[in-house]
């Protein structure tokens, strides 16, 4: 009789089985049967953390595009491999002899991929560059006979995620980085329209690297036209061209992807050094990986600038626990991709997406016990539609982190209902203090995975992944939140 009942549940409800006492499985199954949610591909998995008992499962072994739930995979690997106290270190040294305030040689900066050189941890990325320049000035240096050389050869020179959509590349959420980059790969533009239609539009931007990086073809539009600014990066001239219109009298702020982050960040550092009163006789240059294409460092890079210089001082980032919080709470894409490539540099063969993602997958399979067939990673942030993961894999990762020495720090790094600045700020009202969970949203994809403290006091790891919605994300989120509320009872 029991086997027959289970068969009927499978036939009628798409393999949703109540596996834990106190879980209202029928209520959760009801969400799957209600239009338009019934049209979605949905997976739900929930496990009691103290006993390992399954509380609910539905398509837990099916692969889904996870959107930003992909960040759980990367941050779990980073917190475990680097450790919660790990800090990125950007070393600065001199290559040449010093004679009082004069350096007969170069100032060398060794890029570490520090993802924190932005207003998330500083007043701005420009302030971080000023702090580095001040440290140089404080050591009595006033004249450098050579150049500012920023060595980024520890990472490949690729700047675009290999499976990202081209149209996304102009936007801040698809900003790209490198071994030395500031302001999360974004430029903030202030556009000021003229007083009459047809007049040019004034543009300023930050951070300021090369003075000709931004070119404006914007024109002032009549009142009521609004603001329509399109930014196109021209690789042949390494410049961003702004096209469109700004309504008469309007001053607006627009953020766009920098698209040339390493060179512009190095130029911003050079500018900061000049402003504190240190002359760079030879200007600035970037030491890239060897070769004529995006690739890993060759053996020759062992003799690069950073292998031949003694550090004079270093800039250290906040600890990894704060970096992970800076990623998970607001769902920060750029920082995640920086961490991926840093994992590749430290634990793989090179600072690249391929190596970094390989490190993540190896850790999750060999150390966490995730089945190799349960995940397929193509980026770290979840922007790629090529990523695939099962709810079962995500719950395994959450369970492993809960049981690890970094468990408290990892849980605290996740968004919480009502938490200002987090992606759950306006969701799951009434569950404050009981839920920590990572959201995920891209076109037709919505996800939520994390931890719940049930009304009974039980702690639960859960994952809810949905694909193929074809409807407003807010509508799907409401259904997901109702499932969480049911699990939380």
Both structure tokens of 12: 């009628």
pLDDT for res 30: 84
Task: Give yes or no: residues 102 and 240 share one domain.
Answer: yes
My answer on whether 113 and 196 are in the same domain is yes
Could you list the mean pLDDT of each consecutive 10-residue stretch along the chain, which spans 489 residues? 33 40 78 82 97 96 98 98 98 94 97 97 98 97 98 90 91 95 97 95 97 96 91 93 95 95 98 98 94 45 81 96 98 98 96 96 98 97 98 98 97 98 98 98 97 95 96 92 95
Last residue of one domain, picked from the residues 316, 345, 378 = 316
pLDDT score for 26: 86
CA distance 168 to 162: 13
**Helix (H/G/I), strand (E/B), else coil: 140:** coil
Closest CA to 267 of 247, 245, 284, 289: 284
**232 and 297 both lie in a single domain:** yes
Q: Tell me, yes or no, whether 267 and 127 share the same domain.
A: yes
Q: Which domain holds residue 107?
A: 89-316
For residues 331 and 428, membership in a common domain is answered with: yes
Q: How many domains does the chain have?
A: 2
Nearest 10 degrees: CA dihedral of 360, 361, 366, 369?
A: 110
Distance CA 91, CA 364 (A): 31
Q: Distance between terminal CA atoms of the chain?
A: 29
Residues 386-420: pLDDT tens digits? 999 999 999 999 999 999 999 999 999 999 999 99
Shared domain for 198 and 259, answered yes or no, is yes
SS (H, E, C) 449-482: EEEEECCCCCEEEEEEEEECCCCCHHHHHHHHHH
User: Do 27 and 154 lie in a common domain?
Assistant: no
- Same domain membership, residue 266 and residue 147: yes
The whole-number pLDDT of residue 304 equals 84
């Amino acid at each position: 009789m029991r086997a027959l009942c289970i068969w009927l549940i499978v036939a009628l409800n798409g393999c949703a089985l109540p596996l834990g006492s106190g879980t209202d499985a029928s209520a959760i199954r009801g969400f799957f049967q209600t239009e338009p949610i019934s049209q979605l591909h949905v997976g739900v998995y929930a496990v009691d953390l103290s006993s390992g008992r399954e509380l609910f499962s539905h398509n837990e072994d099916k692969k889904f595009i996870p959107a930003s739930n992909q960040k759980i995979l990367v941050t779990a690997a980073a917190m475990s491999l680097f450790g919660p106290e790990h800090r990125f270190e950007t070393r600065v040294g001199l290559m040449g002899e010093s004679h009082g305030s004069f350096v007969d040689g170069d100032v060398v900066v060794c890029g570490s991929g520090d993802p924190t050189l932005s207003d998330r941890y500083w007043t701005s990325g420009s302030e971080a560059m000023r702090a580095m320049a001040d440290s140089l000035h404080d050591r009595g240096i006033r004249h450098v006979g050579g150049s500012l050389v920023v060595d980024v050869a520890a990472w490949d020179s690729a700047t675009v995620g290999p499976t990202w959509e081209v149209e996304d590349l102009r936007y801040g959420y698809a900003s790209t980085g490198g071994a030395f980059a500031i302001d999360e790969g974004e430029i903030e533009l202030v556009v000021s329209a003229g007083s009459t239609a047809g007049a040019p539009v004034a543009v300023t931007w930050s951070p300021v690297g090369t003075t000709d990086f931004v070119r404006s073809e914007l024109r002032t539009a009549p009142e009521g036209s609004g603001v329509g600014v399109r930014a196109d990066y021209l690789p042949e001239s390494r410049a961003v061209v702004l096209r469109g219109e700004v309504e008469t009298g309007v001053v607006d702020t627009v953020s766009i992807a920098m698209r040339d982050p390493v060179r512009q960040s190095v130029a911003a550092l050079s500018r900061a050094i000049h402003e504190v009163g240190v002359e760079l006789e030879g200007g600035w240059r970037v030491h890239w990986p060897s070769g004529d294409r995006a690739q890993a460092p060759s053996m020759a890079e062992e003799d690069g600038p950073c292998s031949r210089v003694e550090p004079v001082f270093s800039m250290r980032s906040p600890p990894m626990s704060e970096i992970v919080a800076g990623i998970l709470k607001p769902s920060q894409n750029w920082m995640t991709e920086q961490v991926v490539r840093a994992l590749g540099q430290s634990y793989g063969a090179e600072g690249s997406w391929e190596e970094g993602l390989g490190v993540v997958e190896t850790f999750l399979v060999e150390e966490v016990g995730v089945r190799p067939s349960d995940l397929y990673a193509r980026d770290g942030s979840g922007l790629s539609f090529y990523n695939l993961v099962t709810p079962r894999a995500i719950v395994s990762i959450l369970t492993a982190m809960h049981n690890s020495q970094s468990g408290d720090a990892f849980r605290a790094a996740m968004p919480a209902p009502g938490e200002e600045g987090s992606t759950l700020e306006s969701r799951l009202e009434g569950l404050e203090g009981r839920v920590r969970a990572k959201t995920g949203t891209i076109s037709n994809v919505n996800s939520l995975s994390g931890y719940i403290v049930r009304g009974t006091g039980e702690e639960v790891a859960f994952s809810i992944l949905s694909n193929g919605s074809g409807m407003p994300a807010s509508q799907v989120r409401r259904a997901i939140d109702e499932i969480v509320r049911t699990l939380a009872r």
